[in-house]
Structure 1
Amino acid sequence: MKTGSMDECILVCVYYGPNGERLIRRGGRIANMFNCPMYVLTVDPQPKDEWDIEKSHYISAWKKIAEELGAEEFIVKYNEKRSVVKVICDVTKQKNVTQIVLGQTARSRWEEITKGSIVNVLLNELSFVDLHIVSVSRELEGQEGFYEKGIRAYLLEVSGGYRLCFNHTHLDKYQGIFYKEVGTDFNNGVFKFMKDNEMIEVLVIEDHVKDINERIN
């Protein structure tokens, strides 16, 4: 718990995707600089029992990272029928937030013109709050659409590295999410898992991971 500067309070807004961890860590650095409280918020229109494994994995990973960085609370708004902007505004006022960290929206320029930018709405609604907009890296943008939907998988330690499997046994070394490359008959892709409160991504080539220390940059 950070209470050094009660004049400042950080709210990190995250949505499902590879940019979430980056946003939380950015918020953590700002909170550490001001020695002030930080909250993490995610909003979802679906009930929790309708979440798929990929979404649940992101939430679990983000909670661990938020705890590691000393967040006051990880707030999940399930089954939310209000707009995302409305929820962000309400939480901002409830927690006396002074700075918001959020990712660059995925909307096209045309959608922003016709439907309005979330950032612009927040600026109008929360004139007393500073906004930090974190852009998605080119590497992460390039991955969109290149992999199939993530599924739960495990790494079993074998001679020469690790083998990908989809049935849980007591011999499994790591549990995570496997993203298979589009257009391949083999299990080639990316395996993402938590290790020591850090999200790690490793390449899978024909069901095998050579070394979990050889991470994707």
Structure 2
Amino acid sequence: MSSKDFSFHRKSPEELLAQIEKLKRGKLKIYIGSAPGVGKTYRMLTEAHELQQEGIDIVIGLAETHGRKETAALLNNLEMIPLKEIHYKENTYMDLDVEAIIARNPEVVVIDELAHSNVPGSETDKRYRDIERILQARINVITAVNVQHLESLHDVVHDITGVSVRERIPDSVIDAADEVILIDVTAETLQKRLRDGKIYQPERIEQSLENFFTTKNLSALREIALREVADDVDDKSDKKAAQLRAAMMNEKILVCIKNDANAEKLIRRGYRIADRLRSELYILMAIDKELEELPTHIQESYAEWRDLAQQFGAHFLLEPMKERKIPQVITDVANKKQITQIILGQSIKSRVEEIAKGSIVNAIMRQTDGVDIHIVANSRKN
């Protein structure tokens, strides 16, 4: 091979470092479903038996059977790591024992309920962080989660179902998985399982059928799950091409938020657009005072939005207004950062007010060139 050929195929230092780091970790496999009861735990335990028969050293770190007899039966003849006792407020809870799993050092461990929040006083606050520790110990992990627990889908799921999902995981957890498998069943099949008592206790069945487990909700969540897994497969199979397209397009997304209930929705929407385009994401908040001069509750909101932006890999910008109006702040940042797309919340101004005081969108369009503007509708009031 000539030196020219060698240089063409040689990996960059960054690629080599990333490859070395990946070799130091265990592999992560995630079963993802559209709703509780689709069969994620059943499939994980079935796979555990298959791997065991192949001579793979596999253990169960934690499996939530929820009283389902068929699922519980699959725990027979599988080695289970005893759960750890955690004491909190005079109560005792049983949870995943990360140290025991690492000490046992199996080839593979099954850990259910990826989005679970740990009991206060645990070493980490979330189970996905526990799994990260286990992966760092070079142990392969099989886990499961429902699509409504993805952080970027929080608002979408709320709009569809009316349910605000409390336990959420960063999208980066799914992105980092070596394999993501969809467990898919129809809405009708899932409703039958519910009526047969295979998902919840009898006293919860009717209420669930009338609320979360409606045909409309389940069909919409199923479509979201199908799309999410398809996008993940495309991303993993064509990641370099996507990065190359992003570099060529040089797309940069700017999300403009203000101190209201729509801020998080805008950040999530911006992330999903930026993630599809493989582009840089900026979150802009204009402030008329120094941060420390603002009321405590506003500072706390800013900290939450900064944390969310960090989770999405975005740049969080607090921009002093300095006697500028909002459109000028936005256009100054857009021009400085070479932004190509701006995301704004829907204006609450009436048509008369827009005529009298001017439209923010029109002002931005006059002062920028070649920038697309997206308007996101306000959240519906319940």
Matched with 2:284 is 41
Tell me if 1:75 matches 2:337. Answer: no
- The TM-score with structure 2 as length reference comes to 0.35
The alpha carbon displacement at 1:23 in A equals 0.3
**Can you list the C-alpha shifts for 1:89-141, whole angstroms capped at 9, x where unaligned?**
111111111000110122222110101110111122224100010111221xx
Residue identity over aligned pairs, in percent, reads: 39
Match of 1:24 among 257, 264, 267: 267
Name the CA distance, whole Å, in 2 between partners of 1:123 and 1:91: 14
Instruction: Please give the secondary structure, in 2, of the residue aligned with 1:138.
Output: coil
Structure 1 outlier segments of 4+, above 2 Å? none
**Can you list the C-alpha shifts for 1:26-54, whole angstroms capped at 9, x where unaligned?**
00000000001001110011222220122
Structure number with higher helix proportion: 2
Structure with greater contact order relative to length (CA < 8 Å, sep ≥ 6)? 1
Matched with 1:204 is none
Instruction: Please give the secondary structure, in 1, of the residue aligned with 2:251.
Output: coil
The one-letter code matched in structure 1 to 2:316 is F
Name the CA distance, whole Å, in 2 between partners of 1:57 and 1:49: 11
Matched with 1:60 is 303
Match of 2:347 among 94, 100, 105: 105
Match of 1:14 among 257, 260, 279: 257
Matched with 1:121 is 363
The one-letter code matched in structure 2 to 1:45 is D
Matched with 1:131 is 373
Let me know the Cα RMSD of the aligned residues.
1.6
The alpha carbon displacement at 1:80 in A equals 2.9
- Which has the higher Rg, Structure 1 or Structure 2? 2
Question: Is residue 257–residue 285 contact of structure 2 (8 Å, CA) maintained in 1?
Answer: yes
Matched with 2:293 is 50
Using a 3 Å threshold, how does the CA distance of structure 1 residues 45 and 104 change in structure 2: closer, same or farther?
same
Name the CA distance, whole Å, in 2 between partners of 1:130 and 1:79: 23
Name the CA distance, whole Å, in 1 between partners of 2:350 and 2:366: 21
Matched with 1:186 is none
Name the CA distance, whole Å, in 2 between partners of 1:33 and 1:63: 21
Matched with 1:84 is 326
The one-letter code matched in structure 2 to 1:22 is K
Aligned ranges 1:129-168 → 2 under 5 Å = 129-139=371-381
Name the CA distance, whole Å, in 1 between partners of 2:335 and 2:308: 24
Name the CA distance, whole Å, in 1 between partners of 2:322 and 2:374: 24
Question: Is residue 321–residue 329 contact of structure 2 (8 Å, CA) maintained in 1?
Answer: no
Task: Give the paired residue count.
Answer: 137
Question: Is residue 48–residue 78 contact of structure 1 (8 Å, CA) maintained in 2?
Answer: no
Matched with 1:168 is none
Give ranges in structure 2 of 5+ residues lacking alignment.
1-241
Matched with 1:164 is none
Which has the higher mean CA deviation after the structures are superposed, 80-89 or 29-38?
Answer: 80-89
